[in-house]
Structure 1
Amino acid sequence: MCGIAGLICGEQDKTPERRFLEAMGNAIAHRGPDQSGEYVAPGIGIAHRRLSIIDLTHGRQPMIGGDGRWVLTYNGEIYNFQELMTELQDIGYAFDGHSDTEVLLQAWRAWGRACLSRFIGMFAFGLWDGEARELHLVRDRLGVKPLYYGLTREGDFVFGSELKALLVHAGLERTLDPMAVEEYLALGYVPDPRSILTQVRSLPPGHTLTYRAGEGLPEPQPYWDVDLSISLQGSEDEHAQALRERIADAVRLRLVADVPLGAFLSGGVDSSTVVALMSGEMSDPVQTCAIGFDDPAFDETPYSRQVANHFGTDHDERIVQAEGHEMFARLAQVYDAPFADSSALPTLAVCELARQSVKVALSGDGGDEVFSGYRRYRWHLRESRARELVPEGLRKPVFGMLGRWYPKADWAPQVLRAKTTFQALARDTVEAYFHTMSSVPASIRQRLYSKAFASDLQGYSALEVFRTHARRAQTDDPLRIAQYLDLKTWLPGDILTKVDRASMAHALEVRVPLLDHRVVEWGLSLPTEEKIQRDEGKYLLKRAMERDLPHDIIYRRKQGFSIPLKQWFRGPLAAPFERLLERSALADSGLFSMEALAGLWREHKSGLSDHGVVLWSLLMLNGSLEHLMNVPTAGLPSASNPVRSTA
């Protein structure tokens, strides 16, 4: 696992300064503390920071091949590299070492862009073609590894694993993208292809981009997407056996490493499945780790301990206490862009814990998205079936009126909280699912936005992100639509971003076998009744693992990996938030009505409303704005470059 960065000069005969490339690499040194390297030539500069996992002696980057024509900077792992190396050797390609980096370079030389369909793995890379004078940027199918790019005022093209590498360039404008702010507040992250800054983009998963010096930014081109029109045939028993075999193969591939390797273990089905299959492949006990909370309602360590005992793992755990909220100040430096998933906090802690004993950890991320584990999928399916029973002409006005007038009763028992259900039934499938996934509802966003910022948005809603993806889904099945939307937004934007930044902050590589693209394609083609049956999510996965895992682990109620925000904002986080109201980057940004924000804060403190998620989103946005203002530049004359909104 590594950090990559680079620059193509707007003036093609200009040679970048090596110290500038060193500064880009140093900005992401945490991603690769083992080695550093730079490549500099007229018009091009490339930086690399290496975390050595495979072939510790060879595999240095940037790697040059093809008589100097090709220069590669690469972040990730290609798990089937040994098989590909043999295939390439059979057609005449020679190798100096046994790294997957060299396999990638030779595969591109042999097969061009078509080599991407052969790779099993996670990757983001930049490949410079010195003969054609063009740069190829590529991101893996699911977006496990990140890749940002943008144009500066001077016309320089910059790219890197994290936003902070690009911010080294003093010519990169730090102007907030109003639509990205709306998307962040709605979803809790900025979805691809936007970034929080107007001049920077995130390469979407499963896409490539080819840039030629002096040209404008080209449109990314897709090389992979999941086909939702395929429906698996066969019996449930056959599918359960095939699923276990497929996941076991994905786990087996991810055990190749020349450094210590372990796993995250929450005690849920997904991470327990990974640990179970690792235990069957490894001769030594699996190194596992878990994070819990001093609040029993949020603590899963008893379950992780049960699984660890069952498989005899070498287990370690840590409890995050309320005082640990001070870690939130570090989140802005780790994530750069605003990121509102509060489970980033325990994820940072579990990565720090894991790195004390291993350099590579396997995780169970992706199981909920692929096999329908979230409760929201079951609710979405029920609501979709209910919509089908009522004609649209009647459904929208009736349920729309009920949704408007029924009180929002956060304090009431669950059975009396019907407002959200009425609102969902009035919407179409895509809008309803967007509302389900919104961390800050539209009514609150509109209440908080300043008049100037609302004007800048010109009526834009983050709902358009979901609409755009849904048009490409090629299905009208409501469950598959929801899964597809998660695959394109929530998974890369939230789950994988959270794990990548938290793990790389501790120089830890995390591998995700349940997101092997072959498992994803196969899993999404399962019939609905094998994903959700008798109100049981992840039905087939649970059936497939019944002979491996304790029954009460497989069928316990899903808990989730979150922190007690409601209580923390009425306790240890109260003072930091009140300081934000008085004087802060958020207050100075012009994005919000501070009077409306103060009103929201009073409602939360009173106990009648739970605005914990909203308050956390604002706290994280403030931290990000302060961080972005203070990232130092290098390599070009200093420039006054504050973060600006258009408000």
Structure 2
Amino acid sequence: MCGIFACHCHPDVQKFKPTALKMGKAIRHRGPDWSGNVIANNTILVHERLSIVGVESGAQPLVNDEGTIALAVNGEIYNHRVLRKHLKTPYNFKTHSDCEVIIPLYLEHDIDAPRHLDGMFSWVLHDKTQDRVVAARDPIGVTSFYMGRSSKTPGAVYFASEMKCLHPVCDDIMTFPPGHVYDSKTDQLKRYFDPKWLIEPSSIPETPVDYKTLRTALEKSVRKRLMAEVPFGVLLSGGLDSSLVASIAQREIQRVNELAKQQRQRQNGSLDEELVGIDDDNKLTTVQMLPELHSFSIGLPGAPDTKAAEEVAKFLGTRHHSFTFTIEDGLNALSDVIYHLETYDVTTIRASTPMFLLSRKIKAMGVKMVLSGEGSDEIFGGYLYFHAAPDKKEFHEETVRRVDNLHLADCLRANKSTSAWGVEARVPFLDREFLELCMNIDPADKMITKDRIEKYILRRAFDTTDEPETKPYLPEKILWRQKEQFSDGVGYGWIDGLKDNAELHVSDEDMKNPKPEWGSDVPDTKEAYWYRCMFDEHFPTYCAGTVKRWVPTWSKQTDPSGR
């Protein structure tokens, strides 16, 4: 991940520049490799870079030959090679960066440019000729993005990867909605990601599940996310989702490397130097041999997820790194976690703390990109409360609601927990094509019954019991292992430790007298109260408008644990 900060229509942009650079520095953890900025007219773009693709030549902001277009991007464009090949007008690319293609795409498609992108992204583009800013966020909001305004600079509009570099200069901040594009010409946000399943959630899909297509789609999604020029790995909890991602990635690495070896052997018998791989058009191309896959897990001593992760890693043959943390380690990190997450949602904080600690370990090992399993539970109704769904209509509507709010929950967690240490998390389950396939499956196939465990169709798609010629993707007991909430799977003592400590920090009297500035958003537990107080230490009250707290469905349960 990278970090971006931008301001358009500032009344004195040169005077504002030192402040803008300071705001960019506030998110340098997201992009520790390089800093850049561009000023044109009354607009400034600031970029903090984490180099994953185009390492030697992809410094930002990117500018075209004429100096009329400047671009700052946070994210990855997986179809950038295909887009480059199919441009109608030749464009002089200055870098190998996957993000540079956005400039000629804007020149050809204007405000519709984001529709053509396959990836995770937040970006701000300034057109100097029109003195126009266009900003966009990926369909699901995998990358974090905010938009702000200030009563001190009427007419100015601000953008940033994180809220912490907006609230010092803005008194009105909102989450930039996923799947939308902003155009300063109209000063309006417009939805560009508009599939029927999202726009009409009450229209219930009727397409029966095709297991082979489902498997192929996820494999394709993982394959495109192996695009990197730096060491990478996979977050492996030992649950179904991360284990499948790890399995597919390992199989792809082995497949490509075997092809590479065979071709090189045919040429001169050597197995080194540049070797063959598969490009975006599924054609052979010369690329570097893919590196060994690292896998990472974390938990309290004896945690169920840790044991399962070690079993999966051994089965797959990854280079596994298993870490432990103590409850004290987690408690000590809480304030920092909330500062980086920019939320006080109980579910998100519980799950983010181990991920935050693990990301620091990963960064220390020199790994800059990891694959993760977020999104599967929302798509397939994998949370345990989905057992209580009364019918397929409500089941489907709840999956749509959960996917639509991922940017405020699991995507926020994955993005900010890793970015806090300069690590990028990629999420194959939230691939645009994969989503289109899965969200149009008849929800009756997804529902949990006495004969079907949660996420049955995903498990079944990768069950090779009836395919003796196919190597198993996972051990059977992992493939059919019941769901653990991540915050539980790292060790059941974690949640109990949080609750016990909240009792020490929040009194019964505190609960009876919440802060007046909280309005109607009053925490209903001491743990939630404690987190809200820590949030308030870092952020002004008006920033709370960007936070969404988890609310259970089909249940009177108030605790978000899945136990």
- Superposition TM-score, scaled by structure 2 size: 0.80
**1:276 and 2:247 are equivalent in the alignment:** yes
**1:328 and 2:334 are equivalent in the alignment:** yes
Q: Secondary structure of the equivalent of 2:134?
A: strand
Partner of 2:363: 355
Indicate how the Cα distance of structure 1 residues 377 and 569 shifts in structure 2: closer, same or farther if over 3 A, else same.
closer
Partner of 1:161: 161
Q: Secondary structure of the equivalent of 1:31?
A: coil
CA distance in 1 between counterparts of 2:543 and 2:441 reads: 47
* C-alpha deviation, 1:23, in angstroms: 0.6
Partner of 2:286: none
Partner of 1:494: 409
The within-5 A match list for 1:392-411 is: none
* C-alpha deviation, 1:232, in angstroms: 6.0
Consecutive unaligned residues in structure 2, runs of 5 or more: 198-202, 255-290, 465-472, 546-563
Superposed CA deviations along residues 20-51 of structure 1, whole A, max 9, x for unmatched, are 22111101110101010111233111111000
User: Which of these residues, 213, 216, 238, is aligned with residue 242 of structure 1?
Assistant: 213
**1:553 and 2:560 are equivalent in the alignment:** no
CA distance in 1 between counterparts of 2:250 and 2:196 reads: 33
The within-5 A match list for 1:111-510 is: 111-154=109-152, 155=154, 156-169=156-169, 172-173=170-171, 199-212=172-185, 218-228=187-197, 229=203, 231=205, 233=207, 239-283=210-254, 284-294=291-301, 299-324=304-329, 325-340=331-346, 341=348, 342-357=350-365, 358-380=367-389, 383-384=390-391, 477-489=393-405, 491-510=406-425
Indicate how the Cα distance of structure 1 residues 240 and 642 shifts in structure 2: closer, same or farther if over 3 A, else same.
closer
Superposed CA deviations along residues 249-268 of structure 1, whole A, max 9, x for unmatched, are 11110101010010000111
Instruction: Say whether the 8 Å CA contact 2:41–2:131 is kept in structure 1.
Output: no
Structure 1: which amino acid aligns with 2:403?
L
Structure 1: which amino acid aligns with 2:360?
E
CA distance in 1 between counterparts of 2:97 and 2:323 reads: 35
Indicate how the Cα distance of structure 1 residues 576 and 43 shifts in structure 2: closer, same or farther if over 3 A, else same.
same
Q: Secondary structure of the equivalent of 1:102?
A: coil
Q: Which protein shows a greater Rg?
A: 1
Structure 1: which amino acid aligns with 2:298?
I
CA distance in 1 between counterparts of 2:416 and 2:544 reads: 25
* C-alpha deviation, 1:347, in angstroms: 1.5
Instruction: Say whether the 8 Å CA contact 1:347–1:502 is kept in structure 2.
Output: yes
The within-5 A match list for 1:69-80 is: 69-80=68-79
Superposed CA deviations along residues 503-537 of structure 1, whole A, max 9, x for unmatched, are 11010000011110110110011122432353422
Indicate how the Cα distance of structure 1 residues 219 and 107 shifts in structure 2: closer, same or farther if over 3 A, else same.
closer
Q: Secondary structure of the equivalent of 1:220?
A: strand
**1:576 and 2:491 are equivalent in the alignment:** no
Partner of 1:542: 459
Structure 2: which amino acid aligns with 1:353?
K
Structure 1: which amino acid aligns with 2:534?
G
CA distance in 2 between counterparts of 1:271 and 1:260 reads: 18
CA distance in 2 between counterparts of 1:62 and 1:579 reads: 51
CA distance in 1 between counterparts of 2:23 and 2:339 reads: 15
* C-alpha deviation, 1:321, in angstroms: 1.8
* C-alpha deviation, 1:80, in angstroms: 1.1
* C-alpha deviation, 1:566, in angstroms: 5.6
* C-alpha deviation, 1:624, in angstroms: 1.1
Instruction: Say whether the 8 Å CA contact 1:149–1:202 is kept in structure 2.
Output: yes
Indicate how the Cα distance of structure 1 residues 541 and 129 shifts in structure 2: closer, same or farther if over 3 A, else same.
same
Q: Secondary structure of the equivalent of 1:522?
A: helix
CA distance in 1 between counterparts of 2:499 and 2:31 reads: 39
* C-alpha deviation, 1:162, in angstroms: 0.5
Structure 2: which amino acid aligns with 1:333?
Y
Instruction: Say whether the 8 Å CA contact 1:136–1:209 is kept in structure 2.
Output: yes
Q: Secondary structure of the equivalent of 1:131?
A: coil
CA distance in 2 between counterparts of 1:371 and 1:81 reads: 29
Percent of aligned pairs sharing the same letter = 27
RMSD over aligned CA atoms reads 2.7
CA distance in 1 between counterparts of 2:30 and 2:135 reads: 19
* C-alpha deviation, 1:628, in angstroms: 1.8
**1:562 and 2:487 are equivalent in the alignment:** yes
Superposed CA deviations along residues 344-382 of structure 1, whole A, max 9, x for unmatched, are 1112122222223311000111111112222222312xx
Instruction: Say whether the 8 Å CA contact 1:322–1:572 is kept in structure 2.
Output: no
CA distance in 1 between counterparts of 2:519 and 2:213 reads: 52
Instruction: Say whether the 8 Å CA contact 1:3–1:75 is kept in structure 2.
Output: yes
Partner of 2:36: 37
Instruction: Say whether the 8 Å CA contact 1:565–1:616 is kept in structure 2.
Output: no
Partner of 1:187: none
**1:8 and 2:13 are equivalent in the alignment:** no
Q: Secondary structure of the equivalent of 1:100?
A: coil
* C-alpha deviation, 1:615, in angstroms: 2.2
Partner of 2:532: 621
Consecutive unaligned residues in structure 1, runs of 5 or more: 174-198, 386-476, 598-610, 630-640
Structure 2: which amino acid aligns with 1:6?
A
Structure 2: which amino acid aligns with 1:63?
L
Instruction: Say whether the 8 Å CA contact 1:56–1:258 is kept in structure 2.
Output: yes
- Superposition TM-score, scaled by structure 1 size: 0.70
CA distance in 1 between counterparts of 2:86 and 2:9 reads: 37
CA distance in 1 between counterparts of 2:534 and 2:219 reads: 41
Q: Secondary structure of the equivalent of 1:562?
A: helix
The within-5 A match list for 1:631-646 is: none
**Number of residues paired by the alignment?**
483
Looking at both structures, which has the greater relative contact order when contacts are Cα pairs under 8 Å and sequence separation is at least 6?
A: 1
Q: Secondary structure of the equivalent of 1:73?
A: strand
Higher helix proportion (structure 1 or 2): 1
Instruction: Say whether the 8 Å CA contact 2:234–2:372 is kept in structure 1.
Output: yes
* C-alpha deviation, 1:146, in angstroms: 1.6
Partner of 1:22: 21
Instruction: Say whether the 8 Å CA contact 1:134–1:210 is kept in structure 2.
Output: yes
* C-alpha deviation, 1:644, in angstroms: 11
**1:61 and 2:66 are equivalent in the alignment:** no
